[in-house]
Amino acid sequence: MQLEIQVAIYEDNNALRESLSHLIRVSGLLSFAGAWPDCSHILEQCAEHHPNVILMDIDMPGISGIDATRLVKDRYPEINVMMLTVFEDRDKIFDALRAGATGYLLKKSTAIQIIEAITELANGGSPMSGEIARKVLEFFTHPESGKPNAYTLSERELEILRRLVEGDSYKMIGDHCCISMGTVRCHINSIYRKLAVNSKSEAVIKAIKERLI
């Protein structure tokens, strides 16, 4: 049986925060862990309410959503953070990924898209709005040649890294590559070791920045 997905919301726009809170409560798929207008007490709130997923605005008073994401991931690496923002510029996207976010949605996303993205994120995926995914993929259509494979990644590891960048869950990677979940985890652990990273978001941002695939 799938574990309950507890969702917390950080959004300074009162109307949107209330709308998102209502959406989580009536979804029938998710549980509401709380909603706040700023991140000034985010670590204490995570300790008290135990969210699995945080919907995080970027531009908030006091601590920014990106800085708050970094704080959360340092203390609670098991919590998934999804940015929900109006910002589409590349620097904000990469700053969020570098901070540890594993999802990036625009606020114009529909209610159904938000619910589906939260569920996907909680199950190991990395959901992104289409506009954001296109900006990421621009790195791989740039005319400059990619960096040589200095990390000695195998062809299978490069394929799995590409799937991680595209947002596939471990199960989706296993199905695509016709390998077990255990084998997927072994390959991903090897990728982390060779790239000297500790998380999926770090591996994705390194692959993008250095054009490894």
pLDDT, one tens digit per residue, over 154-207 is 989 999 998 888 888 888 899 989 999 899 999 999 999 999 988 887 888 888
Query: How far is it, in rounded angstroms, from Cα 168 to Cα 126?
Result: 7
pLDDT of 124 above 50: yes
Mean pLDDT (whole number) for 15-20: 95
Residue-range domains of the chain with CATH: 5-133 (3.40.50.2300), 142-209 (1.10.10.10)
Q: Which of 35-44, 87-96, 97-106 has the highest mean pLDDT?
A: 35-44
The reported pLDDT for the residue numbered 1 is 37
Rounded Cα–Cα distance for residues 170 and 182 (Å):
9
Q: What are phi and psi of 13, to 5 degrees?
A: -80, 115
Average pLDDT over residues 32-45: 96
pLDDT for residue 145: 46
Q: Is the pLDDT of residue 109 over 50?
A: yes
Region 126-137: what's the mean pLDDT?
A: 77
**What is the average pLDDT across 4-30?**
94
What's the confidence (pLDDT) of residue 140? Answer: 57
CA-based angle 144:152:165, to the nearest 5?
60
Find the largest Cα–Cα distance for the chain.
Answer: 50
pLDDT of residue 118: 94
| CA 182 – CA 195 distance, rounded (Å) | 20
The pTM of this model reads 0.69
For residue 3, name the pLDDT band (cuts at 50, 70, 90).
low
- Residue 65 is predicted with a pLDDT of 94
